[in-house]
Amino acid sequence: MDERIRKHAQIIADWSTEIKEGDHVIIRAHPSAYELVLALYKEIGARKAKPLTLMSSNEANRAYMLEHGDGFQTPDHLIKLVEASDVFISIRGDDNMASMAEVPGSLVSSYARANKPLMELLTDMRVSLTQFPTPSQAQFAGMSLEEYQNFVWDSIIRDWQEVHDMQELLREKLADADEVCVQGPDTELYLSVKGMKPINSDGKHNLPSGEVYVAPSPEKTEGKIYFDLPVVRSGREIHGVRLEFEGGEVVDHSSDTHQDLLTSILDTDDGARRLGELGIGTNRNIDRFTRNMLFDEKMGDTVHLALGYAVPKSVGDGLKGNKSAIHVDIIKDMKKGKLTFDGETIMENGSYFWE
């Protein structure tokens, strides 16, 4: 077994989920991620906790959903299992990223609604969402397996305490700031984060991580922004997204490709035209776009904005966070841009200034 799989498992067990004696642990993994499951059983055994593994498979879900049709019910046995557990480790890594291509979106939504009680339970648990490098995911990222393995493990196997400490300085600055400004080509955007609660995302929930994020005021974003990196939705890439805001709302938009898809995202509901998140990526081992948001939004020298839903814990006490059924992250490369908090330069042309 690649020694990096052992290290990956140790980081999950020690840092991300802090597994201790007697913990009831659930792992969820596709068979393609089997080696990481094996490594986790060793770590869980060493900590005298109790593991079980749910096999996840989009190919199985596809077969199930298409035969079942609409009207999915909540899987109560799964709910009982999760209620009785302390730790949930979800490993991404399938053998075919297109397994769900044939399943109508309405069916996927109906299935997701039936499983919503599960998602709600997970918010109160020690959860780690991570990635195992599989050939299909490497293909999706446009890399050989070996190159992709290096990419994934370089971004995951880090000193997360050090990352935490580095990001904590950024989080404190953001917590003290009123106005955030993003500048660059075709870009001058002002967001209000006054009183909001920035979060230091340091590998405790997402692995890899490496970002500080916050809910901006949904009513105060002004100006325009050009996003260098594409939005990937349902296998399609929307390139060259441009948004213009007034009073927090997108009042104009365009893109170089798939503009109809961008429009339909913005038309989802009232909250879909307002921002739910400003994120600042700091993980410089994630040095390229791989069409995988678990990695992309943490790229060093980037910021991202999310249209839609605001994570409640990033909203300030007594303040309003944005509501929406969607949460669509769009990433901007800051190697040709400048990020300021109340006029103080934080990131500019590929340099960090808060460290």
Contact residues toward a copy of itself (CB under 8 A) are 22, 24, 26, 29, 31, 34, 37-39, 41-46, 48, 50-55, 57, 59-61, 63-68, 71, 73, 75-81, 83-85
Separation of alpha carbons 28 and 23, rounded Å: 16
- Output the smallest distance, CB 66 to a copy of itself, in A: 7
**Residues 132 and 32: beta-carbon distance below 8 Å:** yes
Separation of alpha carbons 148 and 154, rounded Å: 10
Nearer to a copy of itself, 66 or 101 (CB): 66
**Beta partners for residue 254, in sequence order:** 242
Q: Which residue has the tokens 């990635």?
A: 131
- Output the smallest distance, CB 309 to a copy of itself, in A: 27
Nearer to a copy of itself, 72 or 353 (CB): 72
**Residues 247 and 231: beta-carbon distance below 8 Å:** no
Cα-Cα-Cα-Cα dihedral of 229, 211, 6, 287, to 10°?
30
- Output the smallest distance, CB 110 to a copy of itself, in A: 13
- Output the smallest distance, CB 27 to a copy of itself, in A: 8
Nearer to a copy of itself, 41 or 353 (CB): 41
Question: Of 93, 89, 85, which Cα lies nearest the Cα of 127?
Answer: 89
210, burial (CB in 10 Å: exposed 0-12, middle 13-18, buried 19+): buried
Separation of alpha carbons 247 and 152, rounded Å: 39
Separation of alpha carbons 282 and 352, rounded Å: 9
Nearer to a copy of itself, 48 or 288 (CB): 48
Nearer to a copy of itself, 109 or 161 (CB): 109
Nearer to a copy of itself, 43 or 277 (CB): 43
Sign for the CA dihedral angle at 266, 272, 278, 282 comes to: negative
Nearer to a copy of itself, 5 or 265 (CB): 5
- Output the smallest distance, CB 294 to a copy of itself, in A: 22
Nearer to a copy of itself, 84 or 318 (CB): 84
**What 3-state class would DSSP assign to 211?**
strand
- Output the smallest distance, CB 87 to a copy of itself, in A: 10
- Output the smallest distance, CB 160 to a copy of itself, in A: 23
Question: To which H or E segment does residue 128 belong?
Answer: strand 126-131
**What 3-state class would DSSP assign to 111?**
helix
- Output the smallest distance, CB 145 to a copy of itself, in A: 18
Question: Of 162, 140, 116, 130, which Cα lies nearest the Cα of 56?
Answer: 130
